[in-house]
Amino acid sequence: MNAFRVAGAQIPVTADIPVNVLTILGAIELAAHHKVQLLLTPEGSLSGYTWDFDPQATQLGLSEILHAARDQRVGLALGTCFYEEDGKCYNQVRFYLPNGEYLGFHSKILRCGTLAEPLEGEIQHFSTTPLRTFHFLGVPVGALICNDLWANPQCTPMPDSHLTQQLAAMGARILFHAVNGGRDGSQWSKIVAWQYHEANLRMRAQAGDLWIVTVDNCSPLELPCSAPGGVIDPQGNWICRTEPIGEQFFVFDIPL
């Protein structure tokens, strides 16, 4: 390949799994129309961003999504929470080739929680697995989930392990970043947190010499997202970028 066509769906993520499934199916249709090779969805886009989700409904929804993606020849970097065969719950990005072949998952490593004992938050509910890369149609890629990338000092109980640079050292050329950040419409949310997230995206892309494809949950629809979505090049420049409010869809050809 001379280029790798990627897409991102800035879509609302809700606690209603059937609604989430319909939203993702719509994004897959758009991706198929644009002959996209890999579609990225936000953190928890299928299950909802919660450890208190319905595993059976999530499994049924996943089957429906995979059937549609395979039929329309769209690869996926799908954000969802999921129970694996080991009985543990993971916050994941799951990779599927356009033919439906499952490559595996990245599980969120820098899970959010309180900063003092006893630790509370998602760090108590989601398990994790070692960082890894995936070969997608011959391209080495990696995934991170929300706080994995920016290690927000207000909610990260463990040290920042610079996962972007670790992935770069492991050979990844493109990083797919699924986001579902908190937002409340306050000036802190719209200015301080937004600027922190954006600066981290740009600086870590440059430091790792990585392309970063990133997309956030856009719910509630009346508020700006917690972070910008789009594609950043290895020099830290935005190549394409979503509007901060509402549903957005972008497509970009990453040169190889």
Residue 233: CB partners within 8 Å, gap ≥ 6? 205, 211, 239
> Average pLDDT, stretch 93-109?
98
pTM over 0.75: yes
Q: Give the angle subtended at the CA of 58 by the CAs of 174 and 94, to the nearest 5°.
A: 15
Separation CA 176–CA 141 (nearest Å) = 8
Q: Which two tokens stand for residue 133?
A: 């890369």
Domain boundaries, given as residue ranges, for the chain: 3-255
Question: Does residue 146 sit in helix, strand or coil?
Answer: coil
Whether 1 shows a pLDDT value over 80: the answer reads no
pLDDT value for 117:
87
Give 83-98 pLDDT, tens digit per residue.
999 999 999 999 999 9
Instruction: Give me the CATH code for the 3-255 domain, please.
Output: 3.60.110.10
> Average pLDDT, stretch 176-202?
95
Residue 88: CB partners within 8 Å, gap ≥ 6? 127
Whether 123 shows a pLDDT value over 90: the answer reads yes
pLDDT value for 233:
98
Q: Which two tokens stand for residue 155?
A: 């909610």
| Res. 48 pLDDT band, cuts 50 70 90 | very high
Residue 34: CB partners within 8 Å, gap ≥ 6? 5, 7, 251
pLDDT value for 101:
98
pLDDT value for 15:
96
> Average pLDDT, stretch 12-26?
98
Give 206-250 pLDDT, tens digit per residue.
999 999 999 999 999 999 999 999 999 999 999 999 999 999 999
Length of the chain: 256
Mean pLDDT score across all residues of the chain: 97
